[in-house]
Amino acid sequence: MKMNTKASTLLSAFVFLTFFHLSLVSCRKTISDRGENGFTLDLIHRDSPHSPFYNPSNTQSNRLRNAFHRSFSRASFFKKSSLATPNTIQSDISLIPGEYLMKLSIGTPPVEIVAIADTGSDLTWTQCKPCENCFEQSSPLFDSKKSSTYKTAGCDVEECTSIGSSSCVKGNVCEYQMSYGDQSHTIGDLAFDKFTFPSTSGKDVAIPNVAFGCGHDNGGTFNNYTSGIIGLGGGEVSIINQLDKEINGKFSYCLISIPLDSPISNVTSHINFGSSATVSGPDVVSTPLIKKDPSTFYYLNLEGVSVGNKTLKYKSSKIGSGGEEGNIIIDSGTTLTFLPNDFYSSLESTLVDSISATRKEDPSGTFRLCYESENGTIDAPTIVTHFANADLELSPSSTFAEIEQDDPYAGGAKESHGMLVRQRRQRVSFWFEGSGDDRRSLVFCEGSLVVQRKKDSEGENQAGDLSIETFTFASTCGENISIPNIAFGCGHANRDSFTNNAIFGIIGLGGGNVSIVNQMNKEIKGKFSYCFIPLELLLDSSNHINFGDNAVVLGPDVVSTPLILREEDPISYYLTLESISIGNKTLPFRSSKISPNDQGNIIIDFGTTYTFVPFDFYANLEKTLVSLINATRKNVSSGFLKLCYESQNGTINVPKIVAHFTNADIVLPTTNTFTQLDECLVCFTMLHDDEIAIFGKLAQMNFLIVFDLVGNKVSFLPTDCTKH
């Protein structure tokens, strides 16, 4: 059956959630506003006219693309969190906050807050007075002293212990720490207070003793119209679990479809709780809701997807720790649907065979499957998602989006880029994840390669042929070095962030088999080194990279640490960081993403400017620095660099900082740990990121760093790199 997207009714899926089943029905069903023990709230899309984020100057196309890019970032953190095994050491990290806003009031008398509704988070929190370091907020901060029902949570209460990333530093007050995927964070006191929900029936619903975070240190990418996050996940401290007695474990939402220039764009979606969420009738289908770790997310079993008369079996063993049980996450905060590479390829191929419209390339490079449309319509085959016991027919508006009027029509599913190499007889397509040129495992020249940076939501997409050719290197000694039979990518379709016309591609210096370093192993004996000059001196000098015997360095000041090989990531270079000292205080380092022995817990990478460490470690690092630095602290409006100080001459007095790697203590000068942002401001160049730990480029300045891939070690020599 063919469907015309213009003629079809624009419908959304009505989602009914309990802790054991999930039911879906068309939004055309009549839903009572409030029943016994139930209530309904507005669920405001961040781009709707009702939202404080609404910018009337943005076109709907702009808003759609922005939402799509937010989806890529969010999906990467679903992947990161769900791939953790039961033995993985991992501190709490939540997803990038989602697409919808909610209003509620806290305290007695009630104070209204507007916060991000997020099914990918558990903890509800808002900014509170006093605020030590907060993002700008247009509405008044919540003042706990003015609420007669406010009380802090003790360290032994269940809510405190269930958060995971909590501590007791102020007597018997539970202090929480939460980091999000976009570098946003919140630190504060876990507390209890009365929550009042403004039901659409006109009668407010008040619930006492709800646990929430009263944030005193919050930052990142939050807009000044919001005050925090409302956690709707499946964890112990989520609003859903805390309201279990009142709502009987049930909530539902109905998300309105808003196409380009829609006359209904002023309509608000709703979220229903308790008996108001109950729905019945012949059109309702239900599928089991799977419990698995992490408990924050809502997992379903997707068995297959049908396109017309063809059914594609769905299989994903990479979601969570329970195999095929719960193989897909349902999430209201992610705009796009993300699928494994192999399954997406089959789905795309089937759609291409079934759609007769003219295929077009998306100019932005966001989507792979797009079609030309004269009037915003294409004939699309019927698409059905087959969940366990529930077949859902998706309307074309749920699977294709008009990204611009008179522009290509794009498929609303995207492959999840992974470490996948698909080899054919003569052509090879590569899908890699990397961060910086020393972590690329393939060289390409006008390149045949698809690269997805771990910390870049935009992505860089290339395709072409894998080839063999002689490479000639212009040595600094004046004599060219030629090496035959080097494998490289000869690209024929390259786009996105390669906008500088002086750049032809990427030289891969990673640890993988096809990297330049491994291909030249006989010539360079597995050795290379580099020495990076501080940025302010680069106008007069050039950085150099040395190979083979030229990379060897000896002397009493040289220290070496083991180079750790990781089977799951052969591209990256891993070291073991044991601790960092600040003055006389030593902070033990543990990475939340590795095995209990913590070997190879940090990547050394010159393609990453800053150094990234886990959130808990960063919090201790920052707290120690703040206690030892006698300078005026300043907030930076961007929120990216968190620890900044006023400086009259571009310098501040910083205690001695030493990175203690295995068998190698590296003293980091102030220029390696603080950078001058402007004439009167210097900032700490270590950031928190629970996804991955990286020893970045700024920390490596003025060190001659030698990689010995045969001896499996990395050596450091502090030096003036302008002389190397």
Contact 200, 33 (CB under 8 A): yes
Taking the C-alpha atoms of residue 681 and residue 159, their distance in angstroms, rounded to an integer, is 40
Which has more pLDDT, 416 or 271?
Answer: 271
- Whether the per-residue pLDDT at 477 is higher than 90: the answer is no
Least confident of 73-82, 518-527, 539-548, 589-598: 73-82
User: What are the phi and psi torsion angles at 686 (to 5°)?
Assistant: -105, 135
Do 481 and 505 lie in a common domain?
yes
Please report the pLDDT score of residue 79 as a whole number: 42
- Whether the per-residue pLDDT at 672 is higher than 70: the answer is yes
Beta bridge partners of residue 674, listed in sequence order: 684
Taking the C-alpha atoms of residue 694 and residue 697, their distance in angstroms, rounded to an integer, is 9
pLDDT band at 658 (very low <50, low <70, confident <90, very high): very high
Task: Domain count for the chain, please give it.
Answer: 4
Beta bridge partners of residue 339, listed in sequence order: 415
What's the Rg (C-alpha) of the chain?
27
pLDDT band at 2 (very low <50, low <70, confident <90, very high): very low
| Most confident among 271-285, 452-466, 508-522 (mean pLDDT) | 508-522
Domain C-terminal end among 519, 538, 563: 519
- What average pLDDT does this structure show over 384-397? 88
Please report the pLDDT score of residue 198 as a whole number: 83
Which has more pLDDT, 659 or 61?
Answer: 659
Given the residues 47, 92, 118, 708, the one annotated as active site: 118
Do 490 and 552 lie in a common domain?
no
Taking the C-alpha atoms of residue 572 and residue 405, their distance in angstroms, rounded to an integer, is 43
- Pick from 277, 366, 266: which is nearest to 25 by CA? 277
In a domain, 86, yes or no: no
- What average pLDDT does this structure show over 677-704? 86
pLDDT band at 454 (very low <50, low <70, confident <90, very high): very low
Q: What is the pLDDT of residues 487-497, one digit of tens each?
A: 888 887 675 55
Please report the pLDDT score of residue 639 as a whole number: 56
Do 460 and 352 lie in a common domain?
no
Beta bridge partners of residue 505, listed in sequence order: 445
Taking the C-alpha atoms of residue 456 and residue 261, their distance in angstroms, rounded to an integer, is 30
- Whether the per-residue pLDDT at 455 is higher than 60: the answer is no
Which has more pLDDT, 210 or 612?
Answer: 210
Percent of the chain topping pLDDT 90 = 25
In a domain, 270, yes or no: no
Residue 496 is a catalytic residue: no
Please report the pLDDT score of residue 7 as a whole number: 26
Do 534 and 484 lie in a common domain?
no
How many other CB atoms are found less than 10 A from the CB of residue 3? Answer: 19
Q: Is 328 left (phi over 0), alpha (psi -120 to 50) or beta?
A: beta
Residue 523: enclosing H or E segment and its boundaries? helix 521-524
Q: Which residues of 195-205 are buried (b: 16+ CB within 10 A; e: fewer)?
A: bbbbbbeeeeb
Q: What is the pLDDT of residues 439-452, one digit of tens each?
A: 333 343 332 223 22
Average pLDDT, the chain: 74
Strands 602-604 and 694-695 come out as parallel
Domain, as residue range, for 341:
280-415
Strands 13-17 and 383-387 come out as unpaired
Do 502 and 440 lie in a common domain?
yes
In a domain, 481, yes or no: yes
Q: What is the pLDDT of residues 202-216, one digit of tens each?
A: 788 899 999 999 999
- Whether the per-residue pLDDT at 336 is higher than 70: the answer is yes
- Whether the per-residue pLDDT at 461 is higher than 50: the answer is no
Q: What is the pLDDT of residues 223-252, one digit of tens each?
A: 777 899 999 889 899 999 999 888 888 888
Taking the C-alpha atoms of residue 476 and residue 486, their distance in angstroms, rounded to an integer, is 21
- Whether the per-residue pLDDT at 142 is higher than 90: the answer is yes
DSSP per-residue letters across 325-366: TT-EE--TT-SSEEE-HHHHHHHHHHHHHH--SPEE--TTS-
pLDDT band at 93 (very low <50, low <70, confident <90, very high): very low
Token pair for 346: 């089959």
- Whether the per-residue pLDDT at 510 is higher than 60: the answer is yes
Please report the pLDDT score of residue 707 as a whole number: 94
Q: What is the pLDDT of residues 185-207, one digit of tens each?
A: 899 999 999 999 887 777 888 99
Contact 694, 435 (CB under 8 A): yes
- Whether the per-residue pLDDT at 54 is higher than 60: the answer is yes
Please report the pLDDT score of residue 51 as a whole number: 62
Residues with Cβ within 8 Å of 424's Cβ and at least 6 positions away in sequence, in order, are: none
DSSP per-residue letters across 254-285: EPPP--TT-TTTT--EEEEEEGGG---STT-E
pLDDT band at 506 (very low <50, low <70, confident <90, very high): confident
Cα 719 to Cα 531, 534, 723: the distances in Å are 9, 12, 8
Helical segments of 36-83, H only: 60-82
Please report the pLDDT score of residue 371 as a whole number: 84
Residue 204 is a catalytic residue: no
Do 436 and 548 lie in a common domain?
no
Q: How open is the CA angle 83-85-91, to the nearest 5 degrees?
A: 85
In a domain, 625, yes or no: yes
Given the residues 92, 122, 189, 331, the one annotated as active site: 331
Domain C-terminal end among 519, 546, 562: 519
Which has more pLDDT, 37 or 131?
Answer: 131
Domain C-terminal end among 365, 390, 415: 415
Cα 646 to Cα 322, 428, 584, 630, 632: the distances in Å are 50, 52, 24, 11, 5
User: Residue 332 belongs to a domain with what CATH number?
Assistant: 2.40.70.10
- What average pLDDT does this structure show over 709-716? 94
Do 397 and 427 lie in a common domain?
no
Which has more pLDDT, 370 or 64?
Answer: 370
- Residue type at 178 in one-letter notation: M
